[in-house]
């Protein structure tokens, strides 16, 4: 009887000594092009305490939209799913923050607070920049040396020759994006 009791005490201490952690997440950290209608799935090392699976303890925010409303399911299990009320916005950076107020069924807190981000799919179908060119012109003939200067911090560069007359050069670049 003493041997069985000793093994039981040893085994229970090993289980109690384990920390409560987040094992995996989907979408994964720093994912790009996540579908706009995705749910967030969090897998923990032990069953969660369902009363701690709430928006105050698992905070989902969008860089442009702020706090994202939705519902949690899976409280009391090892897998918790967040289903946003509306789809994520295109191209938005989503931040998922888990506080140490998330607990397992034995009321042990998450061992460390965690934050990770992912980015949703952009609504751009392609990225093909187009440039508009501008001719460079000069009214000075027989110039031997030229010096350039950006005097106003803008897009107009002034070119001076050795006679201290200047040549005006305008550079215009227009970039356009093609989307849906």
| Mean pLDDT by groups of 10 residues along the chain of 180 residues | 45 58 96 95 97 97 96 97 97 96 96 95 73 56 56 56 51 47
Last residue of some domain: 71, 97, 119?
A: 119
Last residue of some domain: 102, 119, 136?
A: 119
pLDDT of residue 11: 42
User: For the chain, first and last CA: distance in Å?
Assistant: 74
Phi then psi for residue 121, to 5 deg, are -60, 140
pLDDT of residue 4: 46
Q: Is residue 129 part of a domain?
A: yes
pLDDT of residue 7: 41
Same domain, 149 and 162: yes
Same domain, 64 and 97: yes
pLDDT of residue 8: 41
Whole-number Å distance between alpha carbons of 145 and 50: 78
Same domain, 66 and 134: no
Exposed / middle / buried, residue 50 (Cβ in 10 Å: 0-12, 13-18, 19+): middle
Tell me if the pTM is above 0.85.
no
Give strand pairing partners of 58. 98
The answer to whether the CB of 82 falls within 8 A of the CB of 74 is: no
Q: Is residue 63 part of a domain?
A: yes
User: 62: which 2 tokens?
Assistant: 């969008």
pLDDT of residue 102: 97
Residue ranges making up the domain that contains 44: 19-119
pLDDT of residue 18: 73
Same domain, 94 and 143: no
The answer to whether the CB of 95 falls within 8 A of the CB of 25 is: no
Same domain, 44 and 97: yes
Phi then psi for residue 16, to 5 deg, are -65, -35
C-alpha torsion 134→139→143→147, nearest 10: -50
The answer to whether the CB of 53 falls within 8 A of the CB of 99 is: no
């Amino acid at each position: 009887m003493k041997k069985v009791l000793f093994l039981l005490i040893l085994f229970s201490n090993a289980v109690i000594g384990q920390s409560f952690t987040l094992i995996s997440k989907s979408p994964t950290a720093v994912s790009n092009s996540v579908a706009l209608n995705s749910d967030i799935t969090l897998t923990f090392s032990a069953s969660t305490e369902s009363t701690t699976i709430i928006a105050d303890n698992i905070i989902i925010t969008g860089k442009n939209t702020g706090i994202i409303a939705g519902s949690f399911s899976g409280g009391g299990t090892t897998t918790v799913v967040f289903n946003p009320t509306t789809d994520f916005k295109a191209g938005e950076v989503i931040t998922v923050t888990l506080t140490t107020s998330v607990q397992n069924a034995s009321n042990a807190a998450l061992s460390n607070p965690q934050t990770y981000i992912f980015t949703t799919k952009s609504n751009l179908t392609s990225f093909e920049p187009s440039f508009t060119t501008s001719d460079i012109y000069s009214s000075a003939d027989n110039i031997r040396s030229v010096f350039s200067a950006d005097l106003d911090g803008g897009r107009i560069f002034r070119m001076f020759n050795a006679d201290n007359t200047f040549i005006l050069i305008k550079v215009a670049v227009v970039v356009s994006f093609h989307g849906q």
